């Protein structure tokens, strides 16, 4: 039997994941290209790179979750997020495509996770840098991940008076 507290926790994490796309759209709404190309600190990514990073990272999250659900303790692939953010698409493309990816991806991810039976949440994978990681862990990581980057964007907007 799964505790009510754990079910409530998952439900809260799912809601946070579900609202990420709209919160991101609000955070970047009305920003000019010059503003999107502003880094949030010296040597840090630009807002544009953060948006593309969220799409890249959450695509990887979705694949990782599917692997956990469909394979017996898979080893998850890592990637260098800074190298990905430094690619031409991460640095120069309009953010519209990544916003669309995040919209569709989060819809699919949340619908998939809503259908996961209680027994599957403890299924695990091996992350080469983190060690064993469960589906519950992945849900929490990526629910917080979106919020963290959205807070970075809104913090920069507040700092700059945008």
**Are 10 and 139 in contact, with CB atoms under 8 Å apart?**
yes
Are β-strands 131-134 and 124-127 bridged in parallel, bridged antiparallel, or unpaired? antiparallel
Task: Say how far apart CA 156 and CA 162 lie, in whole Å.
Answer: 8
Walk along the chain (162 residues) and give the pLDDT tens digit of each residue.
556 687 788 999 999 999 999 999 999 999 999 999 999 999 999 999 999 999 999 999 999 999 999 999 999 999 999 999 999 999 999 999 999 999 999 999 999 999 999 999 999 999 999 999 999 999 999 999 999 999 999 999 999 999
What CATH superfamily classification does 4-160 receive?
dinb family like domain (1.20.120.450)
Give the pLDDT score at 149. Answer: 98
Q: Is the pTM of this model over 0.85?
A: yes
Give the DSSP letter string of the chain: ---HHHHHHHHHHHHHHHHHHHHHHHHHTT--HHHHT-BSSTTPPBHHHHHHHHHHHHHHHHHHHHHHHHSSSPBPPP--HHHHHTSHHHHHS-THHHHHHHHHHHHHHHHHHHT--GGGTT-EEEETTTEEEEHHHHHHHHHHHHHHHHHHHHHHHHHHT-
- Please, how many CA atoms are within 13 Å of residue 108, restricted to the half-sphere of its CB? 13
CA-to-CA dists, residue 3 to 8, 10, 14, 43, angstroms:
9, 11, 17, 45
């Amino acid at each position: 039997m799964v505790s009510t507290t754990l079910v409530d926790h998952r439900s809260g994490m799912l809601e946070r994941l579900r609202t990420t796309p709209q919160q991101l759209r609000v955070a970047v709404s009305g920003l000019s290209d010059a503003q999107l190309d502003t880094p949030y600190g010296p040597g840090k990514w630009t807002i544009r790179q953060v948006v593309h990073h969220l799409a890249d990272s959450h695509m990887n999250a979705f694949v990782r979750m599917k692997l956990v659900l469909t394979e017996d303790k898979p080893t998850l692939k890592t990637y260098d997020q800074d190298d990905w953010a430094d690619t031409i698409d991460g640095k120069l493309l309009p953010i519209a495509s990544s916003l669309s990816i995040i919209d569709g991806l989060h819809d699919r991810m949340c619908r998939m996770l809503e259908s996961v039976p209680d027994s599957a949440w403890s299924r695990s994978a091996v992350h080469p840098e983190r060690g064993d990681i469960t589906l519950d862990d992945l849900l929490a990581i990526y629910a917080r991940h979106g919020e963290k980057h959205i807070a970075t964007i809104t913090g920069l907007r507040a700092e700059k008076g945008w």
